Amino acid sequence: MANNSFWEGKRVLVTGGTGTFGRAFVRKILETGVERVIVFSRDEFKQYQMRQDFTDPRVHFFIGDIRDLPRLERAFNGVDIVVHAAALKQVPAIEYNPIEAVKTNVNGTQNVIDAALNQNVERVMVISSDKAVQPINLYGATKLCAERLAVASNAYRGATGKTRVSVMRYGNVLGSRGSIVELIENQKDSGEIPLTDERMTRFWIHIEDVIGRVLKAIELMEGGETFVPNMKSSSVTSMISLLAPNCKMKVIGMRPGEKLHETLITEYEISRTKDLGDIFVILPEFQPWKSDFPFAKYPDLSPDVVYASNSPFCLVESAQDVEVLIKPKQ
């Protein structure tokens, strides 16, 4: 639940605003007292489509590319909060077009940070992915770079600057475009669902829960933290069995750049992670911009925790628990 008093009168911009996350974020933020919401993206047709669904006069559309720093600076003028969700995300396409991913996910993120610093934006939340943790594909590597750029940028705001930059890292979004739920729904009539490996596990979260955690993190952030929702995971076979019980599973082998299991907090980050209940906060390794953090009052995450999708800390295995995990939000 958003703190309406925090959002009252705020001007908010979301990059990649026409995507699954962007549309859900805009819909939720309009329930608060925000003054203006700016959808920044490069696809004019998606903006046209989104305009049909969002007729609130507080919503404004800005065509632009995060690779274009001057355009970002113009868009950020007078903005209080930026949520940076724009990215190239399709792993196979990125492996084939690596420099394009670097230009968007790495250079584009640096442009967002520079524009925010130059325009004295109050808060920037960079949306990341579990793929950024111990990456084995280029998408994950670019998101890791984006995370490091975001955290380190807090050292550059200077004595008079007010820009805080933090990160939100989470796993697979249920029901998003291209998600496994969509894949299963599209293919279950064939009677056969492809599966890369029967041992595979993944984190799952509903888009509504993602948005709620992002809003909470923005309200709490001091700059330099990496926020991680407290998420559950399941095996992919359990997911398929529940959604398509009459289908056979065809094992097709691991794809390039694919992991058996995902990790959200590494063993090296656990020691500086605080437990806020529905969200974890990884404190930065260095913080020359601040002498202390308000999160010190919260309990440490147990050093024995393994926050990986195949860990007992996260994994749900019974059919009933998996059904609860993936049941659509009302």
Residue type, position 322, single letter: V
- Give catalytic residues, as residue numbers: 131
Q: Which residues contact 54 (CB under 8 A, 6 or more apart)?
A: 26, 27, 30
CA-CA distance, 326 to 203, in Å (whole number)? 11
Q: Token digits for 232?
A: 């559950």
Q: Which residue is listed with tokens 């670097």?
A: 102
Measured on CA atoms in the order 84, 90, 95, 96, is the torsion positive or negative? negative
Q: Are 84 and 115 in contact (CB under 8 A)?
A: no
List beta partners, residue 81. 12, 123
SS3 158: coil
Judged by DSSP in three states, 216 sits in helix
Spatial contact of 26 and 54, defined as CB atoms under 8 Å apart = yes
User: Does an H or E element contain 170, and which?
Assistant: none
Q: Rounded distance, CA 170 to CA 230, Å?
A: 9
What b-and-e string marks burial along 164-174, b requiring 16 or more CB atoms within 10 Å of the CB? bbbbbbbbbbb
